[in-house]
Structure 1
Amino acid sequence: MRIISNYELYFCKILYSAIPMSMDVSSNQFVWVVNQEMGSIRADYCTIYSPVHAVSTCETKDIDETPVVITLLLTKKNKFGELDFWKVNDEPIKNFFYLMENVEGSKNR
């Protein structure tokens, strides 16, 4: 368990801005890493068995120019549930800060 990072907060804010809800994630949010190579995280109160649903996505690219899709998932109570990173070739993400510089926009689902 750890505190959410600045780049993770950055993506949460971008993805929250695409949905018609007034929500945010605290900089004190505890998370656990779901997938170490991709960097996906889940809220500390959201177990692996807790259902979550996708509400917003954005696209970017890693430093090797491979596309990365980032998805915000919420719990049933519409609280932050998960931030999912998926590099389309299933290789580990190399540079999360490069992802921030190359975000192409977000859309709700």
Structure 2
Amino acid sequence: MNTKYEECLKMLQECLEACNTCFDACLKEENVKMMAECIRLDRECADVCAFAVQVITRNSPFTNQIIDLCADICERCAQECTKHEHEHCKRCAEACRKCAEACREVAA
């Protein structure tokens, strides 16, 4: 595997974990309906991050396109999470922003 992806892989894993944590915590919030979009984007983001890890580690010819899409989804998830005051949402938004940045760097 190309070493240029090392930092990106780290950020993908951290983002995946933050999204899964946020997803689980959102489901436990009092007003779950208000958190529906956050929950949906947490799932989308965690799934695309996991897929991006697979793509990078198997040296897929589609790596740049997939991590570029991953960055888009991470940015959308971060935007949604910043709408909420929950600590898990704030941590998730930060992880998503860092991941999007790392993905954009290596996809460029």
One fold, TM greater than 0.5? no
TM-score, normalised via structure 1 length: 0.31
Identify the structure with the greater strand proportion: 1
**TM-score, normalization by structure 2:** 0.31
Q: Greater Rg, structure 1 or structure 2? A: 2
Higher helix share goes to which structure? Answer: 2
